[in-house]
Structure 1
Amino acid sequence: MRASAQRVGVLCAVLLTCLASTGCGAAAQTIDLSRLVVEPNPRIGLSFPGSQVRYYPYMAGAGVGVARIAVTWQLIEPERGRYNWRGLDERVGALLALGIRPFLTFESKSDWGTRPETSKVKNGDPTDLGLWTGFVGRVTERYDGDGRDDMPGLKGRVVHYQAANEWESPTNPSGGWIGSGAALIAYINATHDAVKAADPQAVFVLGGIASFNLDVLLVALDRADFRVQQRWSEASTTVFDRDRIKSPDIAALIDERVMPVLREARYDIADAHLYGPEERDAARLALLAELSGRPVLSAECGGPSRDYGDDYTPEGHFLAAVHRHLNVLASGGAFCLWFRLGEDDKTTWGNRFTALYTNDARPKPGVWAFRMLARLLGPDVLPHPLPAGGFELRGSGDPVRLAWGEGAADVLDWAARGSTPAWCLIDPIQGTLAPVGAGCAPGAFIVAGSDVARLLSLDP
């Protein structure tokens, strides 16, 4: 309690310093993030925007530059040798027309092409890997932009392909794998090889590991010591404590499936799905990079999560969008793909409110965070974590610092010492940033930098 009071005292002192200076915001103007017009930024992404392409401009308007869509075997090839490209062509074409790069995740779910006992997961085990890889090759060839067997009217190309989403568990309805680890590795390798044969320049991403399982790995390998949980409803929560995680069955799953896949499968990039506490992301990403020996990105991320008992708040949504994206970029990842464009009930209870828009297409605070990041994250800009919390964006221009909570006071102090303009988030629902001299709540989101006003202007 005393430490918290001291931090508030420091913050108040810094605010008084700002009021007395011209550089910390006294001469700055309010920034309205809701009015920013942005271009799609390839370092900001979204996962599963849905099949209704009339909503895709909402992504471009938020600055989204990469979008992940599913390629389901059964839908594209409902019968052996008969193809229906209409829906996938429409989605890929609509994304490219908006300047958004498609990220294709293969799902081997097929009534005719996979073993019936694996039909309950999206990664069905093909009865004939040759038939499956023939399908994968056709898809890749259709969107590689080489002018041979391309989709009619293709403008651009697809670079990222993925298979075996959330492969760790045999019961995961979002992906899963029912079968041996050896069969899973053979499936991943065959898919990888089919993509590369059709397009040697394509990037193949291993199916993502769920955040719950990443946390289990951290505890099991003694890299962390915390409770791991997922809430399914107000009254139902799955909890793994340290004793459960250290049990023989978890050790066997790690030794017999997780580690062999990470080490023996062929892929270019590993994928960490990021939900729950944002503070765990750096350790999750570092562990996956270490175990896989490859670069890491996040093809599915979101927040704020209710899995650990927190309620949704507008400010929490804004902060989660900033924190999660910068976590991935600071770890060397190419992008973080936010989970869902609009709200619906097709997700877990804990992730019910991660979407960027409400179900009636009203923008949520994460949209304003996306627009801000789309402007601040130029091609040469890299985020670096700050010791007290938050990030410094470094590029060819002057640095920009962003922080909240415990890190906010340090950024305000840095701004005051350098007579650097600074703003705080005063209205996450409307996306309003006010000069700090106008008054900020303790621990509010802060952005500071000599070039911020220009970067976030209505006409930069």
Structure 2
Amino acid sequence: MGLAQRVGVLWVLLTCLATSGSGAAAGTIDLSRLVVEPNPRIGLSFPGSQVRYYPYMAKAGVGVARIAVTWQLIEPERGRFNWRGLDERVGALLALGVQPFLTFESKSDWGTRPETSKVKNGDPIDLGLWTRFVGQVVERYDGDGRDDMPGLKGRVVYYQAANEWESPTNPSGGWIGSGASLIAYVNATHDAVKAADPQAIFVLGGIASFNLDVLLVALDRADFRVQQRWSDTSTTVFDRERIKSPDIKALIDERVMPVLREARYDVADAHLYGPEDRDAARLALLAELSGRPVISAECGGPSRDYGDDYTPEGHFVAAVHRNLNVLAAGGAFCLWFRLGEDDKTTWGNRFTALYTNDAQPKPGVWAFRLLARLLGPGVVPHPLPSGGFELRGSGAPARLAWGQGAAEVQDWAQSGGTPAWCLSDPVRGLLAPMGTDCAGAFIVAGSDVARLLSLDP
């Protein structure tokens, strides 16, 4: 070998051993350094009212954000409106390229029946006053140039009403009243939205994951324990005998089924917490019962409801797993629960947020950035037999897996000479080239992955 050839080989070796800007070995993918654009297939639920934090969503690749529209806050007295807070939130999201998803809450001191004041979905005294309010909100954000918010850039597409309507005691939504009155409320809200913007998409309020699991067992589609933990020592548990009781059957027959079948809406909503491996059955059942497409306007993990502890790896994997579950089922998006941590949630979902309470990114942020790059237009996730997903689009497929499914993806990569990486440091967001210490770890493989996840794709 001549001198020039030896220099060339040495240069290749030095290049391969060079370090990246993060100090990691060449070939390592640093998800913390990726710059991403908001992706409309990745979303977040309830980012809070402080718009100064909203750029953190865009930096994570979030393209849809759910915010509440509370009647009492916007119309504190009949005919007197205060649009400032909602205008600020909607305007800030649109300016970032994030699509607002507005959930109506009919809580009002003056506009709803006093006996329904303990839930957010109060029963309006006069449906005409309620639908007038709904129509004004939609007209303000429909972008048609008539009665729009001053300076509106873009339009709102998604509207929702009757969050977690199944129970009369649910403080996150609920409905105190008959199934018939609930259907009338949903239909009136739907009609008001469509009258103001016929192209808007109206989403029926989401069904809580606990109740979806109860439905699965009650209808003999699954056989597992259903539970929610409230603290280290307090847990609500429904076994099969409890789920098959007459009162649960009556609730399903008299409220759940009539609302799903008779109410007017475009899309159904499944809230997804707890074990991620239940999602496919939950989504399929709701699609069957409703006859509509299904999204998840609330999802999150890892949940502690079934005894698991929070881990950085678990947070990363849950963000990937839950989002791909919804997309694989044909849903448009999964809206992750909360931007930052606080104590205003259930004990089991305390750690689902993407950022800590001092605005430090958690591993879920790196997972979101990975998905924002990999989920280009037309890319569809397909579940793998042993766990994980294959992303199929116009280019070469990519595979992602963890736990038991990781070995299958590793074999697939090795047999095809396909590059593969495993999650070596979830806290820092590092994916290392496949090595001997990757057993069971999160794996992503594909001939185009390095380009899609490069700092300059």
| TM-score strictly above 0.5 | yes
Residue 51 of structure 1, aligned match among 44, 49, 55? 49
Corresponding residue number in structure 2 for 1:328: 326
Letter in 2 for 1:294: R
Corresponding residue number in structure 1 for 2:127: 129
Q: Does 1:171 align with 2:169?
A: yes
Letter in 2 for 1:360: D
| Residues 408-444 of structure 1: per-residue CA shift (max 9 Å, x gap) | 000000001110000000100000000003x333210
Corresponding residue number in structure 2 for 1:284: 282
Between the aligned partners of 1:174 and 1:242, the Cα distance in structure 2 is 26
Corresponding residue number in structure 2 for 1:84: 82
Corresponding residue number in structure 2 for 1:443: 440
Corresponding residue number in structure 1 for 2:303: 305
Give the match's secondary structure for 1:440: helix
Corresponding residue number in structure 2 for 1:429: 427
Between the aligned partners of 1:316 and 1:418, the Cα distance in structure 2 is 29
Unpaired stretches in structure 1, ≥5 consecutive residues: 1-21
Indicate if the aligned counterparts of 1:189 and 1:265 stay in contact, CA closer than 8 A.
yes
Between the aligned partners of 1:189 and 1:275, the Cα distance in structure 2 is 28
Deviation at 1:28, TM superposition (A): 6.8
Deviation at 1:202, TM superposition (A): 0.1
Letter in 1 for 2:442: F
Between the aligned partners of 1:28 and 1:117, the Cα distance in structure 2 is 64
Corresponding residue number in structure 1 for 2:359: 361
| Residues 128-150 of structure 1: per-residue CA shift (max 9 Å, x gap) | 00000000000000000000000
Corresponding residue number in structure 1 for 2:398: 400
Q: CA RMSD in A?
A: 0.9
Letter in 2 for 1:114: T
Corresponding residue number in structure 1 for 2:293: 295
Between the aligned partners of 2:230 and 2:439, the Cα distance in structure 1 is 33
| Residues 248-279 of structure 1: per-residue CA shift (max 9 Å, x gap) | 00000000000000000000000000000000
Alignment of structure 1 residues 6-25 onto 2, 5 Å: none
Letter in 2 for 1:137: G
Q: Does 1:412 align with 2:410?
A: yes
Letter in 2 for 1:404: W
Residue 216 of structure 2, aligned match among 211, 215, 218? 218
Give the match's secondary structure for 2:138: helix
Corresponding residue number in structure 1 for 2:234: 236
Give the match's secondary structure for 1:378: coil
Letter in 2 for 1:441: C
Give the match's secondary structure for 1:177: coil
Alignment of structure 1 residues 64-83 onto 2, 5 Å: 64-83=62-81
Between the aligned partners of 1:28 and 1:230, the Cα distance in structure 2 is 45
Between the aligned partners of 2:144 and 2:45, the Cα distance in structure 1 is 26
Letter in 2 for 1:87: G
Indicate if the aligned counterparts of 1:28 and 1:421 stay in contact, CA closer than 8 A.
no
Corresponding residue number in structure 2 for 1:3: none
Between the aligned partners of 2:341 and 2:180, the Cα distance in structure 1 is 38
Deviation at 1:346, TM superposition (A): 0.2
Unpaired stretches in structure 2, ≥5 consecutive residues: 1-15, 17-24
| Residues 42-95 of structure 1: per-residue CA shift (max 9 Å, x gap) | 000000000000000000000000000000000000000000000000000000
Between the aligned partners of 1:225 and 1:206, the Cα distance in structure 2 is 27
Between the aligned partners of 2:349 and 2:185, the Cα distance in structure 1 is 30
Corresponding residue number in structure 1 for 2:61: 63
Corresponding residue number in structure 2 for 1:105: 103
Structure with the bigger RCO (C-alpha within 8 Å, sep 6+) is 1
Between the aligned partners of 1:442 and 1:379, the Cα distance in structure 2 is 32
Indicate if the aligned counterparts of 1:343 and 1:352 stay in contact, CA closer than 8 A.
yes
Between the aligned partners of 1:273 and 1:440, the Cα distance in structure 2 is 35
Letter in 2 for 1:126: P
Between the aligned partners of 1:401 and 1:441, the Cα distance in structure 2 is 15
Spell out structure 1 runs of 4+ moving beyond 3 A.
none
* TM-score, scaled relative to structure 2: 0.94
Give the match's secondary structure for 1:75: helix
How many residue pairs match? The answer is: 434
| Residues 354-382 of structure 1: per-residue CA shift (max 9 Å, x gap) | 00000000000000000000000001100
Letter in 2 for 1:390: G
Give the match's secondary structure for 1:359: coil
Alignment of structure 1 residues 154-193 onto 2, 5 Å: 154-193=152-191
Give the match's secondary structure for 2:108: coil
| Residues 200-259 of structure 1: per-residue CA shift (max 9 Å, x gap) | 000000000000000000000000000000000011000000000000000000000000
Corresponding residue number in structure 2 for 1:17: none
Give the match's secondary structure for 1:262: helix
Indicate if the aligned counterparts of 1:210 and 1:274 stay in contact, CA closer than 8 A.
yes
| Residues 279-305 of structure 1: per-residue CA shift (max 9 Å, x gap) | 000000000000000000000000000
Corresponding residue number in structure 1 for 2:343: 345
Letter in 1 for 2:78: R
Between the aligned partners of 1:352 and 1:387, the Cα distance in structure 2 is 31
Letter in 2 for 1:270: A
Give the match's secondary structure for 2:432: strand
Between the aligned partners of 1:306 and 1:409, the Cα distance in structure 2 is 26
| Percent identity over paired residues | 89
Alignment of structure 1 residues 189-208 onto 2, 5 Å: 189-208=187-206
Between the aligned partners of 1:336 and 1:114, the Cα distance in structure 2 is 31
Indicate if the aligned counterparts of 1:123 and 1:176 stay in contact, CA closer than 8 A.
yes
Give the match's secondary structure for 2:272: coil
Between the aligned partners of 1:359 and 1:123, the Cα distance in structure 2 is 29
Residue 389 of structure 1, aligned match among 372, 375, 387? 387
Deviation at 1:319, TM superposition (A): 0.3
Between the aligned partners of 2:438 and 2:380, the Cα distance in structure 1 is 28
